[in-house]
Amino acid sequence: MGGYKPAAGARLGWGSLFGCFGSSSHGRRKKAKGGGGKKKKSKQQKVAAAAGSSGSGRPRSLQSRMSFTELSLSGMVSPEDLSLSLVGSNLHVFTIAELRAVTRDFSMTNFIGEGGFGPVYKGYVDDKTKPGLAAQSVAVKLLDLEGGQGHTEWLTEVFFLGQLRHPHLVKLIGYCYEDEHRLLVYEFMTRVSLEKHLFKKYAASLPWSTRLKIAIGAAKGLAFLHEAEKPVIYRDFKTSNILLDSDYKAKLSDFGLAKDGPEDDETHVSTRVMGTQGYAAPEYIMTGHLTAKSDVYGFGVVLLELLSGRKAVDKSRPAREQSLVEWARPYLTDARRLDRVMDPALAGQYSSRAAHKAAAVAHQCVALNPKSRPHMSAVVDALEPLLALDDCIVGPFVYVAPPETITNGDEAAVGKGGSGRRGGRRRSSGEGAAAVVRPEE
């Protein structure tokens, strides 16, 4: 990385954005001239073959999805190519006019927020919008042509979420690929992102059990990606990409930086360094070698954020505390000092045993040696039992002071049977002064 220091929360490597997927496949597109008299397949036939349809109309199984490289073999992907490659995915292809209608012409009253991709609007669709479309609220995301993310990331998002289905991945309902317009239509997530709940100043603090539930759900989403028949490396795991439904069920979103995992005997995928400062694994930043263990590191950072209530990178803190991982690492395996890491907003309302075990998992995930990090399925197995550990809630501790000895003139109240007078007010003996001592902040 040299001397380059992006702003906290900023994605890395924007200068290389548009070449991040196609470079390795360009050389494979060119074939030797001649070909023994065989007819060249048309572009549509190549896409159909990659998609597994073979012209028969039978869609490929989502379990045996095509890779992004297979799609890129067809060269510049047209709307027709993309639609053909996603046969069987049940994605709806919307027109820009339809999406203007469902968002009231992208009215500011429907505006939800804005990220690196562009603005997001709430909308409502039903079978009047598209035949067979269930009535539901949706989130419509527009590609900002002036923004840092471009057509390649939009295409990647459609491609991966169009073929992958899991309870802990946000559901892509459809897309719009019309002229210069690039839009995505998702299920609407009522409670927006985890980032807003953890770090917004006026948001109510998430209780311990909810934090664990979110961590487990996100871990299941990553485990599914890593253990698919054709593994996927998510590459941008962070709190703003974890969306929450009305029951705080976590779902991974924003697959613009996702990559197909290593194939055959390969140990990693070589790629330009892209991601978000504070979440990217150190070996990936140094070498550009991407593996599933890079995602595990990012998960460990998010788990630390859930435990501590602190951001992965926080420039407003003292220098030694600005990097959450570097600051927290020494405390994570020390039961006597773990309370320094735990979020004061929890007010001690958590199982100490569960906190220690969760901290140990986080410590493993952010290990400097990627081989020391666990697989995400092992992380799920370690975290799920912690939801049941509710018998050792660490309190706010209530200290009851012993009865005061108060001298007022010639009268003293000491121990049992006495009475005291202070400032003209009487208090029965034995009534302690209760002081609430909260965990150190």
Catalytically active residues, by annotation: 236
Nearest to 250 by CA among 236, 235, 234, 238: 238
Q: Is 115 annotated as a binding residue?
A: yes
Q: Which residues of 126-249 form beta strands (DSSP E)?
A: 136-142, 172-178, 181-187, 232-233, 242-244
Instruction: Report d(CA 68, CA 282) in Å as an integer.
Output: 26
Q: Is 286 annotated as a binding residue?
A: no
* Structural Rg of the chain based on CA atoms: 27
Cα separation values, 335 from 3, 150, 209, 332, Å: 37, 46, 20, 8
Amino acid in position 370: P
Helices and strands (H, E) in the chain, number of each type: 13, 20
Within 183-259, residue ranges assigned H as helices are 194-199, 208-226
Instruction: Report d(CA 394, CA 348) in Å as an integer.
Output: 5
Structure tokens at 372: 């020391």
Q: Is 321 annotated as a binding residue?
A: no
Query: In three state form, how does the secondary structure of 238-303 look?
Result: CHHHEEECCCCCEEECCCCCCEECCCCCCCCEECCCCEECCCCCHHHHHHCEECHHHHHHHHHHHH
Q: Is 193 annotated as a binding residue?
A: yes
**Three-class SS of residue 32?**
coil
| Planar angle of CA 252, 226, 212, nearest 5 degrees | 50
Sign of torsion, CA 293 298 302 304?
Answer: positive
Cα separation values, 338 from 214, 302, 331, 350, 368, Å: 21, 17, 5, 13, 20
Q: Is 67 annotated as a binding residue?
A: no
Question: Where is 44: in which H helix or E strand?
Answer: helix 43-51
Nearest to 420 by CA among 399, 402, 398, 400: 402
Question: Where is 12: in which H helix or E strand?
Answer: strand 11-12
Write b or e for each residue in 241-267: b if 16 or more Cβ atoms lie within 10 A of its Cβ, otherwise e: bbbbeeebebbbbbbbbbbbbbeeeee
Strand partners, 250: 244
Structure tokens at 349: 């309302």
Residues marked as binding? 115-116, 187, 189, 193
Residues marked as binding for ATP? 115-116, 187, 189, 193
